[in-house]
A and B are shown apart, each in its own frame.
Chain A
Amino acid sequence: MKKFSRLSVFGSFLVIACAALATTVIPPSFDDLVGRAEMIFQGTVTDVHSEWTGEGAQRHIMSYVTVKVEEAIKGNPGASVTLRMLGGTVGAETMEVADAPKFKVGDRDILFVENNGTQFIPLVGIMHGRFRVKKDEAGRDTVFTNEGSPLSDLTQLGKNEAAASTGRAISAQELKQAIHTKAQAQTEHPGH
Chain B
Amino acid sequence: MLRAFMVIMGFTLFRVPRQPSAPKRAFAGLQLASILMLLAIFVAVSRRASGYALEGQHWPAGTVVTFQMGLGSAGRTLIDGNTSWDTAAAPALGTWNNVMARLRYNDTVTNPPVSSGDGVNAIVFSNTVFGQKFGSGTLAVTCWRISGGTMTEADVLFNRNQQFDSYRGPLRFGSNGWCIGDIRRVLIHELGHALGLDHPDQNGQHVDAIMNSVISNRETLSADDISGAQSMYAAPTPTPTPTPTPTPSPSGSRFANISTRMDVGTGNNVMIAGFILSGSQSKTVVVRALGPTLSSYGVANALNDPMLELHNSSGATIATNDDWQTGSQASQITSSGYAPNNSNEPALIATLAAGAYTAIVRGYNNSTGVALVEVYELDTLAMRLSNISTRGQVGTNQNVLIGGLIISGSTSKKLIVRAIGPSLASPPFSLSGTLPNPTLELHDGSGNLLASNDDWGSGTQAAAISASGYQPSNTKESAIIATLASGNYTAIVRGVNDSTGIALVDAYDLDP
* B window 114-132: CB within 8 A of A: 114-118, 128-132
Q: Are B129 and A120 in contact (CB under 8 A)?
A: yes
Question: Does B15 touch A at the CB level, under 8 Å?
Answer: no
Question: Does A190 touch B at the CB level, under 8 Å?
Answer: no
Contact of B214 among A21, A36, A56 (CB under 8 A): A21
Q: 1/0 contact trace for B114-158 toward A, CB 8 Å?
A: 111110000000001111111111111111111111000000000
Question: Does A34 touch B at the CB level, under 8 Å?
Answer: no
Chain A residues with CB under 8 Å of B189's CB are 23-24
Of A65-73, A74-82, A96-104, the one touching chain B: A96-104
Contact of A21 among B135, B146, B202, B215 (CB under 8 A): B215
Question: Does A119 touch B at the CB level, under 8 Å?
Answer: yes
Q: Are A21 and B147 in contact (CB under 8 A)?
A: no
Q: How far is the CA of A87 from the CA of B144 in the complex (A)?
A: 9
Question: Does B201 touch A at the CB level, under 8 Å?
Answer: yes
Q: Are B214 and A57 in contact (CB under 8 A)?
A: no
Of B30-38, B231-239, B381-389, B457-465, the one touching chain A: B30-38
Q: Are A20 and B115 in contact (CB under 8 A)?
A: no
Given A17-B217, A57-B113, A121-B135, residue A98 in contact with residue B143 (CB < 8 A)? yes
Q: Are B55 and A96 in contact (CB under 8 A)?
A: yes
Q: Are A93 and B145 in contact (CB under 8 A)?
A: yes
Q: Are A118 and B132 in contact (CB under 8 A)?
A: yes
Given A17-B171, A60-B130, residue A115 in contact with residue B144 (CB < 8 A)? no
Chain A residues with CB under 8 Å of B217's CB are 17
Q: Are B138 and A36 in contact (CB under 8 A)?
A: no
Chain B residues with CB under 8 Å of A161's CB are 213-214
Q: Are B171 and A99 in contact (CB under 8 A)?
A: no
Q: How far is the CA of A18 from the CA of B139 in the complex (A)?
A: 17
Question: Does B216 touch A at the CB level, under 8 Å?
Answer: yes
Q: How far is the CA of A99 from the CA of B137 in the complex (A)?
A: 14
Q: Are B137 and A120 in contact (CB under 8 A)?
A: no
Question: Does A105 touch B at the CB level, under 8 Å?
Answer: no
Question: Does B354 touch A at the CB level, under 8 Å?
Answer: no
* B window 18-33: CB within 8 A of A: 30, 33
Q: How far is the CA of A72 from the CA of B114 in the complex (A)?
A: 38
Count CB-based A-B contacts (< 8 Å): 147
Q: Are B135 and A114 in contact (CB under 8 A)?
A: yes
* A window 128-157: CB within 8 A of B: 146-149
Q: Are B117 and A17 in contact (CB under 8 A)?
A: no
Chain A residues with CB under 8 Å of B129's CB are 86, 97, 120
Q: How far is the CA of A68 from the CA of B131 in the complex (A)?
A: 28
Distance (Å) between the CB of A124 and the closest chain B CB? 8
Distance (Å) between the CB of A27 and the closest chain B CB? 8
Question: Does B455 touch A at the CB level, under 8 Å?
Answer: no
| Chain B residue nearest in CB terms to A146 | B202
Q: Are B37 and A26 in contact (CB under 8 A)?
A: no
Classify chain B: how many residues form its interface, as a range.
Answer: 35 or more
Q: Are B133 and A118 in contact (CB under 8 A)?
A: yes
Q: Are B130 and A120 in contact (CB under 8 A)?
A: yes
Q: How far is the CA of A24 from the CA of B30 in the complex (A)?
A: 36
Contact of A24 among B34, B130, B141 (CB under 8 A): B141
Q: Are A87 and B143 in contact (CB under 8 A)?
A: yes
| Chain B residue nearest in CB terms to A148 | B204
Q: Are B115 and A58 in contact (CB under 8 A)?
A: yes
Chain A residues with CB under 8 Å of B216's CB are 17-18, 20
Q: How far is the CA of A7 from the CA of B37 in the complex (A)?
A: 9
Question: Does A189 touch B at the CB level, under 8 Å?
Answer: no
Question: Does B193 touch A at the CB level, under 8 Å?
Answer: yes
Q: Are A98 and B190 in contact (CB under 8 A)?
A: yes
Chain B residues with CB under 8 Å of A21's CB are 139, 178-179, 181, 214-215
Given A99-B213, A120-B141, residue A58 in contact with residue B131 (CB < 8 A)? yes
Q: How far is the CA of A26 from the CA of B203 in the complex (A)?
A: 19
Chain B residues with CB under 8 Å of A56's CB are 115
Q: Are A98 and B132 in contact (CB under 8 A)?
A: no
Q: Are B178 and A86 in contact (CB under 8 A)?
A: no
Q: Are B171 and A20 in contact (CB under 8 A)?
A: yes
Question: Does A43 touch B at the CB level, under 8 Å?
Answer: no
Question: Does A54 touch B at the CB level, under 8 Å?
Answer: yes
Q: Are A24 and B139 in contact (CB under 8 A)?
A: yes
Chain B residues with CB under 8 Å of A146's CB are 202
Chain B residues with CB under 8 Å of A98's CB are 55, 141-144, 190, 193
Q: How far is the CA of A40 from the CA of B148 in the complex (A)?
A: 37
Q: Are A96 and B213 in contact (CB under 8 A)?
A: no
| Chain B residue nearest in CB terms to A119 | B133
| Chain A residue nearest in CB terms to B185 | A23
Q: How far is the CA of A162 from the CA of B201 in the complex (A)?
A: 9
* A window 1-40: CB within 8 A of B: 6-7, 9-10, 17-18, 20-28, 32, 36
Q: How far is the CA of A93 from the CA of B178 in the complex (A)?
A: 37
| Chain A residue nearest in CB terms to B193 | A98
Distance (Å) between the CB of B216 and the closest chain A CB? 6
Q: Are B147 and A93 in contact (CB under 8 A)?
A: yes
Q: How far is the CA of A118 from the CA of B181 in the complex (A)?
A: 25
Question: Does B505 touch A at the CB level, under 8 Å?
Answer: no
Question: Does A178 touch B at the CB level, under 8 Å?
Answer: no
Given A36-B136, A94-B145, residue A20 in contact with residue B214 (CB < 8 A)? yes
Question: Does A169 touch B at the CB level, under 8 Å?
Answer: no
Chain B residues with CB under 8 Å of A9's CB are 30
Question: Does B186 touch A at the CB level, under 8 Å?
Answer: yes
Chain A residues with CB under 8 Å of B116's CB are 60, 95
Q: Are B115 and A94 in contact (CB under 8 A)?
A: no
Question: Does A126 touch B at the CB level, under 8 Å?
Answer: yes
Given A18-B214, A54-B131, A126-B138, residue A26 in contact with residue B179 (CB < 8 A)? yes
* Interface CB pairs A-B, < 8 A, 21: A6-B30, A21-B139, A21-B215, A22-B214, A23-B185, A23-B190, A24-B190, A24-B213, A26-B178, A28-B137, A32-B137, A57-B113, A59-B117, A92-B148, A98-B141, A119-B133, A120-B129, A120-B141, A122-B135, A147-B202, A147-B203
The 3 A-B residue pairs with the shortest CB-CB distance, nearest first, are A120-B132, A147-B202, A57-B115
Known contacts A94-B147, A99-B199, A126-B138; 6 further A-B pairs (Cβ under 8 A): A6-B33, A9-B30, A26-B178, A28-B137, A36-B136, A119-B134
